[in-house]
Amino acid sequence: MKKIERVLFIMEHLEQLYPDTPIPLNHNNIYELLIAVLLSAQCTDERVNKVTPKLFKLANTPQDMQKLKTKNIYDIVRPCGLAPKKSLAISNLSKILVEKYNSKVPQNFQDLESLPGVGHKTASVVMSQGFGHPAFPVDTHIHRLAQRWGLTKGQNVSQTERDLKSIFPERLWNKLHLQIIFYGREFCTARGCNGMVCEICRTCFPKRKKPKRVKK
């Protein structure tokens, strides 16, 4: 199957499986989404969704969050892992939002990525899922699947993002990145599929005889 044929099949198959793409992280405003995405680094969305209600009950705006002691934030977000760094980042970025951005989350990559604890992937999620701007956040699921599906050489997530953006229509980026994540969690898992098990892998590479090794 040629690359263009794989791309078309992948888009059609994912659309059939996931016509709706609800945002995995529960939130009620853009600020809550930013904090939830920050907490999701090296942590499952399910665990984040168990932690954030307690945190947001105390503070769900930058103004209220900056008033909390970092230790109080730490005690709540500890189950998410990397709690010392995450709690400090949440406290500091909240202060910056109040002082520099009139308590609003900025709508551009440069300002978002300048905030403590906010890297390109986190900024991409906020831009796409929060503001609706075209972006293609690449997490471990997408990085793994893009390699298995022959869509990237997979040297790093930055290269994978560039490759996927060049392959898929911009109007589909925001939905596709969620569809790929859902598929990676359900069918093409890290251990459950080696590039020869799930329907997309089998359809795109029917002659593949050896497991596909992926670069992390």
Average pLDDT over residues 144-153: 94
- pLDDT tens, 153-179? 878 999 999 999 999 999 999 999 999
The pLDDT value given to residue 81: 93
- pLDDT tens, 43-89? 999 999 999 999 999 999 999 999 999 999 999 999 999 999 999 99
Residue 170 domain-assigned? yes
Residue 213 domain-assigned? no
pLDDT higher than 90, residue 136: yes
User: At a CB cut-off of 8 Å and minimum separation 6, what does 126 contact?
Assistant: 30, 33, 34, 37, 105, 112, 118
Active-site residues, by number, are 121, 139
The pLDDT value given to residue 213: 87
Q: What is the pTM of this model?
A: 0.93
Is the domain of 46 the same as that of 64? yes
Domain containing 51: what range? 30-130
The pLDDT value given to residue 145: 96
pLDDT higher than 80, residue 121: yes
CATH of the domain at 123: 1.10.340.30
Give the number of other Cβ atoms within 10 Å of residue 16's Cβ.
Answer: 8
